[in-house]
Structure 1
């Protein structure tokens, strides 16, 4: 896993701009602490920071191949889990390899198949190829958008990088955020291709973007498609298990220490149990890690979202699967630490606004990195198998909006509730969400003969797999790579996603519960407590000391009334929340404080030009 960046400028020779390319590359040092490299060839420059996972001595980048027609150079971030099969096929076609890395397989795959190499890869990846034979840059992103990839068009070419910070390190990129960028920040809606920063875009999942002297073009090589599902219940359960066995086995391949993220929920428990069984066959114990908070298990208070604390279920799985387990226990001081907040914002490049859940994820990954370099996560199983409350909420099912927004304010507080009234009017977030929703459902294909209810559920599943999951995948990637930890997501394997997406809702919930297919496919591996457990989201601290710490930081910010944050945030709302008695702080007030502090720190760190009209 790595960080990539680059610059194509058709009107100049970039040899004279090596310093700028170096600066862009160094912004990716957190993603690749093990090695660095740059390559310049005429109008193109590529930069790479490496986190060594496969073929530690042989996978250095940028990697290039000389052909009679010119150089083909690659920078690559990710893992191709089928690289051994592709290597055999390419060897049979006459290719010769100098390393054992998957990077070289991808490079030779491009030499053999061109841009169509993307269709042959199974994995998570974002890579760029400069093809001097055709004076063309090719940028390719994995099907589900697991690995981030951004670009910024310039008058004579393009800048690109794994993260916005790499692009913003180039003087050609303006650090500018318009109303559309703020709309994206305050709606919990992920618009495909949107990067918040003005002029910057994402390479969309399942997409190839090419840039040459005639301009920029996009080609979609994969998207969710509606297909008939002919397997009955037993066959569907068996196929899910068959896929999971293959996926987890492939994703355990690593030349560095591995582990699993274990929450005690169905997804991570099933994955951990599978990994434990497979590694046990090799005489190895899987390591597992869980996040917890000081005093949370003993003083847990159930609410509508979280009926049970994670820890007892985590320990049940660890015992039954025989993992080498460790709880990472965090206190409120660490969660509210402004330095941790700054590291989270630096990792994300935006004030993402998930507060202690972002901080705890970063701190969890930081602690894990002391023991392992690769972690397997249960992320995206809820989107694939139908695990969230909104899948079963009748109001959310029928709403003409994104179903996760129906109860969002009730559970997490109003994201936009802290904004100044004049800015709220300018943003018109309701219209933005409505337009985004219509775009999201426009392309969902209906199966012939599909009932109205099944089609409604198909659209809900589609929204989660193409919008909601991308928010969480980006969060996971950026927090993990900020500490040089590679997180793999088995449930995002496109074969599993395609198969389960096309199972009717009646099969996904055949026993009236969430994730029925996954539960039955892994029932032989799970403790009964986990098998029976109701879905519980990623944990959040309940310690009142955390809210008190937020109040103190907010009071300090209020002592600087000229701070730019108050051009966006309603200072009166912040003041009322900051001086309220701690026991009376609502979820909305706490979230408002987190939002304000994140935004203020982001403005201090990035100094963006805000265009508020």
Structure 2
């Protein structure tokens, strides 16, 4: 992976690009590309690149890269897994290559196919390609949104970058917060694309392209919903065999690398399947890494060891300390949008340890969203039955009983699960599923939001829920839920976390389950192949591994990469949250009732309620304001009046 950035004065083609600004934007991404730096400028356009060398480690692979005519230039982040096949095709059409990198395949692929090149390449990517003859800039992001691409188009100038901090390195960019984005962040603990926390900064959606020229920007999507009207029908055993073959094939394709490559291995099925496929492709042991934490009940090393032994992997494990108080502020500077997924901490530590051993890591991310790996899918089925109870029974008996359940500091405590269930079930079909992960529900917003903030924002759950309806109505209900999670939750939370935490360590992470071939194949499977008998999560994956893993590993409950947030928010992180909120009270006081926030924190401390995730979101919001003021090169002494924006209409 790499870091890309640039400036295009599309309304003033002769306006020079400030070299100091371009260099600052590029330097802000050094962590993403520690192996080299390059910038290029011409009238009206400037491109920057930070290189993490993976393929063709020579100087021939440097970027920004130009073709032989110097009329096409590209700055590119990612990997094209079918670049060798495309190279052969292009050579057959008369193109001549000067390197062995996948970057040049992208460049000459555009020469041959124009913007349709995105339909030809298979990989994870974000790039900006300058076509000097047409004086236009072409931007694109991979189909599932593994790699990010942010932009700001203001006053005839486009700025873009792999991270927001690159764009904010230009002092011309306004840093006014986007109030609706901040509300969505507090609702979900992540910021849904195309928004970011800043009104002036947006991001391309997964599978989206943009073309900028003198007339401005034009956007379109080249990847759509992979679910068709009818699922494929056939024998389950044959589907298991085909699933295994496809996963082996796409994993092998993703192992192309000129630097050391390994894999993450937890105690779960997803990483085990990738490690097995990688071992088969290598025809020998793959280096698999597990990290364990100094918190009882939150360590999967023993399970991972048994998995590695059965799979014949070259296994290593590392115990690490979870020092949340020092880690959270540091990691907040990488999680820019803002984001409050607390599992960023263990993911960061995993990536840090991985980088000491290899440069490229294979991960099992994405399997839960395409194969029904979350208990929320079962909960949604149950919610339909639950709503058949009379409303008085649900609201006057069940809901009060759920609130009285004892609080436990567990990964998936019954109190938290029951209360999320009864709240979300009342929202109705579609919205119930999208509400399982809500952090700030309406009751908490009514309590903590200032009236001015409450009046400025819309209700964000609908944006999530509308993706459920994008699946053809002939398909089973599960298909809509999986699609919504794949296009909303996955790229806005899970993939953001993995990208920022891996790139903070200069580590490239590849995700075989999110190869478009795998996603399309799994979308075609009947729902019962994924959620077997309405309750067996990732049924087809589980059966694929039946002969490879011990039964106690194969059938153990889902664990997840979580942290003990409940006790932390009663102790050290509570203090950090309150201190940071007080330091940024001028901004936060316009959004939240700070006296009531202290009361909520006190309820959590006294164990009369579980507000851990909401309080952590407030902490990350306070740190976001702190970073916007100091860490991301904002102008000293400048403060934005948040609520001078127009209210939401509609």
Instruction: Decide: shared fold, TM above 0.5.
Output: yes
Q: How far apart, in 2, do the equivalents of 1:128 and 1:325 lie?
A: 39
* 1:168 Cα deviation after fit: 1.5
Select which of 421, 430, 433 maps to 2:461: 433
1:108-187 residue pairs with structure 2 within 5 A?
108-187=108-187
Q: How far apart, in 2, do the equivalents of 1:78 and 1:137 lie?
A: 18
Q: How far apart, in 1, do the equivalents of 2:193 and 2:151 lie?
A: 13
Seen in structure 2, the aligned counterparts of structure 1 residues 380 and 403 have a Cα distance that, compared at 3 Å, is farther
Residues 23 and 169 in structure 1, CA contact (< 8 A), matched pair in contact too: yes
Select which of 328, 336, 340 maps to 1:349: 336
* 1:503 Cα deviation after fit: 1.4
* 1:583 Cα deviation after fit: 7.0
Q: How far apart, in 1, do the equivalents of 2:604 and 2:155 lie?
A: 55
Q: How far apart, in 2, do the equivalents of 1:546 and 1:273 lie?
A: 38
TM-score normalized by structure 1?
0.89
Seen in structure 2, the aligned counterparts of structure 1 residues 557 and 230 have a Cα distance that, compared at 3 Å, is closer
Say which is worse superposed, 491-500 or 532-541, in terms of deviation: 532-541
Q: How far apart, in 1, do the equivalents of 2:565 and 2:216 lie?
A: 52
Q: What is the SS of the residue equivalent to 1:114?
A: helix
Residues 22 and 38 in structure 1, CA contact (< 8 A), matched pair in contact too: yes
* 1:73 Cα deviation after fit: 0.4
Q: How far apart, in 1, do the equivalents of 2:512 and 2:246 lie?
A: 10
* 1:163 Cα deviation after fit: 1.3
Aligned length: 585
Q: What is the SS of the residue equivalent to 1:30?
A: helix
Q: What is the SS of the residue equivalent to 2:23?
A: helix
* 1:135 Cα deviation after fit: 0.5
Residues 141 and 204 in structure 2, CA contact (< 8 A), matched pair in contact too: yes
1:524 equivalenced with 2:524 (yes/no): no
- Tell me what 2:344 maps to: 358
1:3-82 residue pairs with structure 2 within 5 A?
3-10=3-10, 11-13=12-14, 15=16, 17-57=18-58, 58-67=60-69, 71-82=71-82
Say which is worse superposed, 83-92 or 172-181, in terms of deviation: 172-181
- Tell me what 1:400 maps to: 429
Say which is worse superposed, 128-137 or 393-402, in terms of deviation: 393-402
Q: How far apart, in 2, do the equivalents of 1:21 and 1:414 lie?
A: 46
Q: How far apart, in 2, do the equivalents of 1:360 and 1:4 lie?
A: 26
Residues 395 and 406 in structure 1, CA contact (< 8 A), matched pair in contact too: no
Select which of 355, 374, 380 maps to 2:366: 380
1:490 equivalenced with 2:512 (yes/no): yes
- Tell me what 2:490 maps to: 469
- Tell me what 1:598 maps to: 620
- Tell me what 1:222 maps to: 223
Q: How far apart, in 2, do the equivalents of 1:321 and 1:465 lie?
A: 29
- Tell me what 1:257 maps to: 260
Q: Mind listing any 5+ residue stretches in structure 1 that lack a counterpart?
A: 301-308
* 1:363 Cα deviation after fit: 2.3
1:496-511 residue pairs with structure 2 within 5 A?
496-511=518-533
Say which is worse superposed, 113-122 or 522-531, in terms of deviation: 522-531
* 1:403 Cα deviation after fit: 4.5
- Tell me what 2:272 maps to: 269
1:565 equivalenced with 2:568 (yes/no): no
Select which of 441, 446, 470 maps to 1:443: 470
1:227-246 residue pairs with structure 2 within 5 A?
227=228, 228=230, 229-246=232-249
Residues 569 and 596 in structure 1, CA contact (< 8 A), matched pair in contact too: no
Q: How far apart, in 2, do the equivalents of 1:505 and 1:133 lie?
A: 49
Residues 207 and 219 in structure 1, CA contact (< 8 A), matched pair in contact too: yes
Q: Mind listing any 5+ residue stretches in structure 2 that lack a counterpart?
A: 385-424, 630-638, 646-650
1:77-96 residue pairs with structure 2 within 5 A?
77-96=77-96
Seen in structure 2, the aligned counterparts of structure 1 residues 120 and 610 have a Cα distance that, compared at 3 Å, is farther
TM-score normalized by structure 2?
0.84
